[in-house]
Structures are given as C-alpha cells and as structure tokens.
Chain A
Amino acid sequence: MTPLRHHRTTRSEFQKKVLGFFAVGITVVGGFIVFGTAMFMLLHFLIKGLPHISWEFLSQAPRNNNTEGGIFPAIYGTTFLVLTMALLGVPVGTATALYLTEYAKQQSFFAKSVRFAVNTLAGVPSIVFGLFGVGFFIQFVGGGIDSLAGMEGGAVFGHPALIWASATLSILTLPVVIVSVEEALKAVPRELREASLALGATKWQTIWKIVLPNSLTGILTGSILAVGRGAGEVAPIIFVGAVYSLPELPTGVTDQFMHLGYHLFVLATQSPDVDAVAPQQYATTVVLLMLTFGLNFTATIIRSRIRKKRLG
C-alpha cells in the first residue's frame, strides 16, 4: 500500500493541477492516436477500395498483368484453404479444450505442459510455421507418403500444396480454437455435468450428450475466429502452396492455390505499373478485410450472446 503515500507532496495545488492536466492529456493523445489510426486505415481502404468492387471483380480471373479482371481464383483458393484448415484444426482444438476443461487435473504436469505449449504456439512467429510446413509437411510427410507409395519424391504429395498450407495454418490457429472452445465449455454450468453424472452417466456420456451440445455455439465461434485469423495469414503459406497465378482453379488438396493476402502482396510489390494496379489492390484489400472482419464480427456477436446467457 506504499503507493498511496506518494501523493503527499509539498507541491502547490496549481502545480498539481498542471501535472494532472498533462498526465490526463497524454493519455487522451495516446488514445486518440491509436483510435484515429484504426479509423483512418479502415476508412482509407473502404473509400479507396469499395468503388472498385464489382461482380466482375469478384467472379473473374485477373487479366492483363493484374490490371483488369478480378480475383475470383484468390477468393476461391482462400476459401478452400481455410475450410480445409478448419476441418483439420477444429476437431483437434476441441479435443484439446475438452481435455483441459473436463479431464485435466489442473495441477498435473501434463495439463500444465499442454497449456504452456498452447501459449507458446500462439507466440511462434508465423514465418516459422512456414518453414515448419516445408520441413515437416512437404519434405517429411509428403515426401514420405510419396516414397512409401513408390513414387518419385514430389510426385503427388511431396511438393507445396493446399493440404500442407491448410495443415500449417491449422496448427497456427490451434490456440485460437482452443481458447474459444475452452471458454464455451467453461460456460456450461457445473450443475448440469453433476446432474448427468448423478444419473449414472459416464464422463464421456456426459460430455457427448450434455457438455458438447451446450457448447456448440462456442465451438462455432472458435472455428469462425480461427478461419478469420487463418484467412489473413500470408507469411506461413508463401512457400507452402500459395502461388502468384494459376491457369486453373485448384480441384484437389494436392493442387496449389491463389490466396487473397498473397495476391495483395504480389500486387503491392511485384507490379511493373503501380498506378495501373492500384484499384485492384485496394479492392482486393477490401475483400480481404470484409472476409476477416466479417468473420470476427460474427464470432464476437455469437460470443457476447453466450456470455449474456452465462450471466442470465
């Protein structure tokens, strides 16, 4: 409680007031700089990009050095990528969250290790996931499958492909899923679990029939958040399967794919004529933002509903 004593200064009231004005003032300035930056970025992209969004832009492939046409292959590729990612990551994340909330003894070494691993995973730079995708998924797993099947390395699986990009992203977004699902599981009242157990349900019966059905929305929220996060990540997929342009849309998981974020990166850094692609760049940004923000917004709404339900 020592801090309480500090304010017994001998400064005059006037000095104190000036100091207070200054102290509050800098927080106001700080707050508004951050707030202003966020608003400015949002508005900037919307104003510059929205006018260029048209049905043609959303439904066609890029033409003429990306100065014309649209970004449909990138939208398609991103969607394909994140859905595969969710398919791989959500079950793992849900099961991990189930372990942490339902099975783990909080003091056990294993539970603590899992928690630490999840936190660590959340902090690993995304580019490292990309390297991991190359070293593990493409070279080791993919190459391994190919050579087991007696094919030449890199024939089917041992090369950059959508499945490996999805797998890489699913690990990157695993913490997002786990944290969301855990929150949803914790929102299921303990009494419901006990009532089920008291009726002679086994632990798994209780989980399957009571806990999971009551946290479905939470699992959905987690999946949406993960998809939103995964859709915006570019660094991990640059060399794990994303490509600059494609003659055809990917049809299977071993194909390569175009990606909105990577497309934006390419447009921004590779274009011979910056002015000519600017409209396309801004429009692509808006589509990417609408995708990620739209998903985040949906998740936030569902989540706040869960929280209300939990309180009420």
Chain B
Amino acid sequence: MGKEQERIKIRTNDFNFYYGDNRALHNISVEIPENRVVAFIGPSGCGKSTFLRSMNRMNDVIDGTSVKGAIVINGIDIYDKTVDVVELRKLVGMVFQKHIPFPKSIYDNVAYGLYLSGRKNKTEVEGIVEQSLKRSALWEEVKDRLNESAMSLSGGQQQRLCIARAVAVDPEVLLMDEPCSALDPISTAKIEELIGELKDTYTIIIVTHNMQQAARVSDFTGFFYMGNLVEFDKTRTIFTTPSKKETEDYITGRFG
C-alpha cells in the first residue's frame, strides 16, 4: 500500500487549541488516511485526547475553549461557521474511555441514535440494531435479552455495546478515547480484534496509553508530547526507526 494511494479523510492545518489562555495544542498538522486505524500515543496530559475530541467538536461543551487553524473532514473545515455540529457528530462517532451505556435497555441503547434522527420505522430500526450488534461482535451474546438493562452487561460487553451504539448511526469516522483502559485483557483483545474488522468500513482514530496496543491495532501512529505532534508516520516506522529523539525515548520507556 503505497503512501500515494492513500485517500485522505481528515487533514488538519496548524490546528491550535486553547483552554482559556492556556494553549493545549500547538500547530498540529496531520493527514489521516481513509479506512485506516490511526493511533495517537503519548504521556498523560500531552494533548492527544484533546485533539481527538476536537475532531467531532466535543470540546465545544467545555466553557472557555477556543481553536485556531482548521480540521478538514471530507473537504470541509469542521470549525467553519456554517457547519452543523449535530450533523458533524453523526458523521464522526465517538467511543469513550468509560464504558457507560445509557441506563436503558440494550436495544434502546443501540436505537437511541436512530430515534434521534427521527427514524421510527420499527422493522428498519430492528434491522439496524441487529446489524450494529453483529458488527460489534455482541449479537450472539445479547440477542436473547435485548430488553434487559444495559447495566447488566459485563464491562467488556458494555464497551462493545457503546461501539454498537456509535456504529448504528452510520458514521464514517470512529474516534476511540482509550477504549480499553478500563477493561480486562480478554475484553481488550476482543475490542482490538473488533477494531481490525471495523476499519474496512470506518476511518478509526484511537487514543491510547498502551504502546503495545497502538503497535497491534494501528496502521499509523502519532506521538504527542506537551501539546505538540512530535512525529507521525506508519506504525512500523514509529516503533522501529523513529526519527525524533523524544519519540524514541518514550517508546523505549525512558519516560512517561
């Protein structure tokens, strides 16, 4: 897969992010190819999560934040005034670190996003729910108890339910914010396997603490440090022959 053939899904140009006067991201410029898994790694507080949350404008909900520069998805600057945030978020789905389903039934959790966009046709919704649960490799485990509370599921199942929930609204990009950090190794393995399957359909961006995970699941890796994107390259390159000293120090475990 030659680099020239990659179709670029997301492109950022000198993107800066501010919490009040505090600059959290410095001139981030990166190109994220379509249908690939991209991982961002780095120590806590390095800005990788902030960057991820900027891509579906989730940071809008925090008071006193502002941005400079552009994030372009499908050729459109998502911070442009004409952009509808609600529609953007339908296109760019997100899975969070904490696997918290809504305190509703399993079925309603997956159907939630569909009802939001006004899809009321029962057979259609049922079809999408089933498909989404199958996609997230949860169908076999829950097909007989769709009406039970989602809280009754195990942690790993809950996280896969959250993925199903995000998949159901048919996004093009999936953002994952440390999706496995609260899970046991077996659940983690399942989610990682799932990520591999999902990348055929979606562009997946994953933020993780876990370098091995990044190495296992991603095609490209970016290393964040102190609000800067220090290095971004093919995962193999990053983990074998990083070009920057900081990246090498981090990967070899000298800090972080």
Determine whether A and B are in direct contact in the complex, meaning some CB atoms lie less than 8 angstroms apart: yes
In the complex, the answer to whether B165 meets A192 with C-beta atoms within 8 Å is: no
A310: min CB distance to chain B, Å: 13
In the complex, the answer to whether A198 meets B63 with C-beta atoms within 8 Å is: no
Contact with B along A194-232 (1 / 0, CB 8 A): 111111111001000110011000000000000000000
CA–CA, A195 and B98, complex, Å: 10
Contact with B along A232-260 (1 / 0, CB 8 A): 00000000000000000000000000000
Please pick, from B86, B103, B113, the residue contacting A202 in the complex, using a CB distance under 8 A: B86
B100 an interface residue at 8 Å Cβ cutoff?
yes
In the complex, the answer to whether B116 meets A205 with C-beta atoms within 8 Å is: yes
Closest to B117 in A: A200
In the complex, the answer to whether A201 meets B56 with C-beta atoms within 8 Å is: no
A210-B102 CB under 8 A given contacts A106-B63, A195-B96, A195-B162: yes
Interface residues on B, range: 20 to 34
A residues near B165, Cβ cutoff 8 Å: 195, 199
Interface residues of B in 17-59 (CB under 8 A from A): 56, 58
B148: min CB distance to chain A, Å: 18
A199-B93 CB under 8 A given contacts A189-B100, A191-B100, A209-B112: yes
CA–CA, A199 and B165, complex, Å: 8
A191: min CB distance to chain B, Å: 5
In the complex, the answer to whether A192 meets B100 with C-beta atoms within 8 Å is: yes
B residues near A191, Cβ cutoff 8 Å: 96, 98, 100
Closest to A198 in B: B94
Most buried by A among B61, B64, B87, B169: B61
CA–CA, A65 and B93, complex, Å: 73
Please pick, from A106, A197, A200, A209, the residue contacting B87 in the complex, using a CB distance under 8 A: A200
CA–CA, A194 and B56, complex, Å: 11
CA–CA, A220 and B162, complex, Å: 30
In the complex, the answer to whether A198 meets B89 with C-beta atoms within 8 Å is: yes
In the complex, the answer to whether B90 meets A194 with C-beta atoms within 8 Å is: no
A residues near B64, Cβ cutoff 8 Å: 105, 107
A199-B112 CB under 8 A given contacts A191-B96, A192-B102, A214-B103: yes
A residues near B206, Cβ cutoff 8 Å: none
B166 an interface residue at 8 Å Cβ cutoff?
yes
CA–CA, A193 and B169, complex, Å: 17
Contact with A along B58-99 (1 / 0, CB 8 A): 100101100000000000000000000011011001101010
A194-B96 CB under 8 A given contacts A199-B90, A201-B86, A202-B86: yes
Closest to A108 in B: B63
In the complex, the answer to whether A200 meets B116 with C-beta atoms within 8 Å is: yes
In the complex, the answer to whether B56 meets A198 with C-beta atoms within 8 Å is: yes
A279: min CB distance to chain B, Å: 51
A132: min CB distance to chain B, Å: 35
In the complex, the answer to whether A195 meets B89 with C-beta atoms within 8 Å is: no
CA–CA, A202 and B113, complex, Å: 11
In the complex, the answer to whether A199 meets B96 with C-beta atoms within 8 Å is: no
In the complex, the answer to whether B113 meets A200 with C-beta atoms within 8 Å is: yes
In the complex, the answer to whether B61 meets A193 with C-beta atoms within 8 Å is: yes
CA–CA, A68 and B90, complex, Å: 70
A residues near B117, Cβ cutoff 8 Å: 200
Please pick, from B61, B98, B103, B166, the residue contacting A199 in the complex, using a CB distance under 8 A: B166
A195-B90 CB under 8 A given contacts A200-B113, A201-B116: no
Interface residues of B in 212-255 (CB under 8 A from A): none
In the complex, the answer to whether B90 meets A200 with C-beta atoms within 8 Å is: yes
In the complex, the answer to whether B102 meets A194 with C-beta atoms within 8 Å is: no
CA–CA, A250 and B86, complex, Å: 51
B residues near A106, Cβ cutoff 8 Å: 63
Closest to A190 in B: B61
CA–CA, A189 and B94, complex, Å: 17
In the complex, the answer to whether A105 meets B63 with C-beta atoms within 8 Å is: yes
Interface residues of A in 164-210 (CB under 8 A from B): 189, 191-202, 205, 209-210
A194-B58 CB under 8 A given contacts A199-B112, A199-B165: yes
Q: Which residues of B does A touch, CB under 8 Å?
A: 56, 58, 61, 63-64, 86-87, 89-90, 93-94, 96, 98, 100, 102-103, 112-113, 116-117, 162, 165-166, 169
Given contacts A191-B98, A195-B102, A209-B116, 7 further A-B contacts (CB under 8 A): A191-B96, A198-B89, A199-B166, A200-B90, A200-B113, A202-B116, A213-B103
